[in-house]
Amino acid sequence: MVELTKKKSPNWKRPVRRSSPEGHGNGPSGHPRKGQHNPGEATETEQPSANFTEDTLKIIPLGGLGEVGKNMSMLQYKDDIIIIDAGLKFPDGSDMPGIDFLLPNVEYLEKYKDKIRGLIFTHGHLDHIGGLPYLQEKLGNPDLYGGALTRGIIAKRHDEFKHLPTLKFNIVKSGDVIQLGDYFKVEFFHVNHNIPDDLALFIETPRGTVVHTADFKFDHSPTSGQPIDIEHLRGLGDRGVSVLMSDSTGAEREGHSISESAIKENLDLIFQESKQMIICSTFASLIDRIQQVIELSEKHGRKIIFDGYSMKSNIEIARELGYIKIQKGTQINMEQVDDYPRSQITVMATGAQGQSNASLMRIANREHRHIQLQKKDAVIFSSSAIPGNERTVQNLKDMFYRAGVKVYHYQMMDIHAGGHAQKEDLGHMIELMRPKFLMPIHGQYSMMVSHSELGQAKGIPEENVIIADNGSVIHIEDPHPINRNGTDTARWWMDQKTVPSGYIMVDGLGVGDIGNVVLRDRQVLAEDGMIVLVTLIDAKTGKVLRSPDIISRGFIYLKENKDFMTEIRKRIRFIVEKSAGPQVNTTYIKDNLREEIGKFLFQKTERRPMVLPVVIEI
């Protein structure tokens, strides 16, 4: 491998080692990590200047680094920009009450949308395509590129956003080569995942070659499609790879990823054992897994019912493209469930993550209109719990156990395989590509560090591993990517300044209008509740006219705390009359009430409810 040269180019400025605001310090590459930005806090002065004559390749991740989800990266050379993916992320845990999902921050791209030459989608999962309806116009409605199934899922979702302009989508397939702008030549190649039409990218530029693996795994016996062409990957490596941007989601897991064919064998055992209705739930986008359940239902003489909007939608698209094949008469409508013996019914349902309004939860709650659980029914969770959903998923499983049904999940037997390469497969990709620089992407920071350590074990020097954050600006100089001798001058460095990368939050119809202040208020309300103080005062004298009204929500139950309420009312009267001067200033009175009553409540309860004073002059 070529070592990072110490020679400075005219444009190069060595990054200053420094600790980030959150104390993360330097990453394993020896270069400083970017401090995490809070939503909306990036300012103009924090951003690097856009030098469109600069003779380096810039890689700027906007999402997917230090997190799982909202994957989005951009590459820039001079005045050409290409984008890879535009995903969304669901909030983790309960620290974002009311937030539907999170989007990448595209403030930097908005300024230069006239320079965007194309937006490439690697595959059709929401963490790679879900942000498009909210970002399409911000990015200037660019040309889109992706596989046929990816296009179908995007187009179906686009129909829900009637105000948006028509998509300019170009379908590509493995082996296709496109030119984007003057400087980007993109070649698509097939990789395995758990959804068809997953395409990785070989990107040639004047200052280096980039391979973006997309989400991938090595599956030598997939249930649909072809395995990765190892010799083709080795050939790409022979052409010279400057930077390998590689999926890190499975970097902390030992061994190889499980093949989908092994999953099918285990599911077959469940079908053989089950003498009643089988209810199987998985992600609606796992087209290969859905096809397996269809084939097993046909093998064992079962009819199949699909329940859940997203699943029905994806199956409709996949059937049109030939990725889902189902024999005539196999699929029946939900209304026909009682027309057949329970031993001949398979239900394919959404909601394996415990979503409150999904099909699986309604079945568990016995609120489903057509499906009522019976003992010895079988429920299959053919998916793993998304981080943050573990408790919800466990509660859902317990509900099924209480109903006396047989529950199968991936911790009992191999009935789910992730779509991401694990350590041995990631190492194999590095061996095939032989990159000068390794850039872990798509994963939590610990996953990226594990990927970094794996790269070093495969012979990549530590200083040639790029550990970045969302918003980092990485420069690449490698005009001769195929040159692997010791005199190679290939190098990378990172700007001290970053582009805005804080979360953009979606709440209902609002996009980006929920900032830190509103979110903090919601957190306070969720944790400590609120108390409203309604006070009538004489506009001339400032005297309190009658006993103040107190409204409590999520703080205390008023009827059981009458003495406490009496004490609060006394303090309100005292504070108001003390604050009233010759001229009544209601703003001043409300500020004093908020501060003094807030302190008093904390002293008595050690809780900090939101205090909302209402002062009415009469």
pLDDT digits (tens, 9 = 90+) for 22-50: 333 333 334 333 333 333 333 333 567 67
Cα-to-chain-centroid distance, residue 63: 8
- Assign 459 to helix, strand or coil: coil
Distance (Å, whole) CA 361 – CA 381:
12
Question: Exposure of 255 by Cβ count < 10 A (0-12 exposed, 13-18 middle, 19+ buried)?
Answer: exposed
242's enclosing H/E stretch is: none
What stretch(es) of the chain map to CATH 3.60.15.10? Answer: 53-255+418-508
pLDDT exceeds cutoff 60 at 19: no
> Judging by beta carbons within 10 Å of its beta carbon (0-12, 13-18, 19+), is residue 369 exposed, middle or buried?
exposed
Nearest CA to 99 out of 519, 520, 502, 527 is that of 519
Over residues 407-415, the mean pLDDT reads: 69
Residue 330 pLDDT class (50, 70, 90 cuts)? very high
Per-residue pLDDT band for 473 (boundaries 50, 70, 90) equals very high
pLDDT band of 180, cuts 50, 70, 90:
very high
Higher pLDDT, 533 or 484: 533
Kindly state the percentage of the chain with pLDDT values over 70. 84
Question: Cα–Cα distance between 144 and 74 in angstroms, integer?
Answer: 14
Q: Pick the residue with more confidence: 339 or 37?
A: 339
Tell me what percent of the residues of the chain surpass a pLDDT of 90: 48
| Range among 287-301, 426-440, 532-546 with highest mean pLDDT value | 426-440
Report which of residues 135 and 99 the model is more confident about.
Answer: 135
The confidence score (pLDDT) of residue 10 equals 32
H or E stretch at 577: helix 562-579
Rounded Cα–Cα distance for residues 520 and 67 (Å): 21
480-489 confidence digits (pLDDT tens): 888 765 457 8
Q: Is the pLDDT of residue 83 over 60?
A: yes
User: Can you tell me the mean pLDDT for 505-517?
Assistant: 57
Mean of pLDDT values over 605-613: 84
- Judged by average pLDDT, the poorest of 4-18, 111-125, 325-339 is 4-18
pLDDT-derived band at 511 (thresholds 50, 70, 90) equals low
Q: Which residue has the higher pLDDT, 522 or 189?
A: 189
Q: Which residue has the tokens 């999953």?
A: 263
Degrees to nearest 5, angle at CA 274 with 271 and 279: 75
Residue 93's pLDDT band (boundaries 50, 70, 90)? low
Identify the H or E element spanning 156. helix 148-158
Give the pLDDT band (50/70/90) at residue 618.
confident
So what's the pLDDT on residue 14? Answer: 32
Confidence of residue 97 (pLDDT cuts 50, 70, 90): low
Location of each CATH 3.10.20.580 domain in the chain: 516-617
Which two tokens mark 368? 């489903």
Pairing relation of β-strands 610-617 and 530-537?
Answer: parallel
What topology is assigned to 516-617 in CATH? Ubiquitin-like (UB roll) (3.10.20)
349-372 pLDDT, tens digit per residue, is 988 787 777 888 899 888 899 999
Length of the chain: 618
State the span(s) of the chain assigned CATH 3.40.50.10710. Answer: 260-409
For 225, 236, 345, 560, the CA distances from 296, given in Å and listed in that order, are: 18, 38, 12, 59
- What pLDDT was estimated at residue 23? 32
Reported confidence tier of residue 3, pLDDT bands at 50, 70, 90: very low
Residue 34 DSSP symbol: P
- pLDDT, average across residues 206-232: 90
Taking CA atoms, 270 is separated from 187, 226, 275, 292, 412, in Å, by 42, 26, 10, 13, 12
pTM > 0.85:
no
Q: State the CATH class of domain 260-409.
A: alpha beta
Whether residue 564 contacts residue 601, with contact meaning beta carbons closer than 8 Å, is answered with no
Lowest mean pLDDT among 9-13, 208-212, 251-255, 537-541: 9-13
CATH code given to domain 53-255+418-508: 3.60.15.10
The pLDDT assigned to 15 comes to 34
How high does pLDDT run on average in the chain?
Answer: 83
Closest Cα partner for 498 from 15, 52, 118, 140?
15
Q: Which has the closest alpha carbon to 209: 5, 9, 421, 483?
A: 483
Assigned token pair, 525: 């309300």
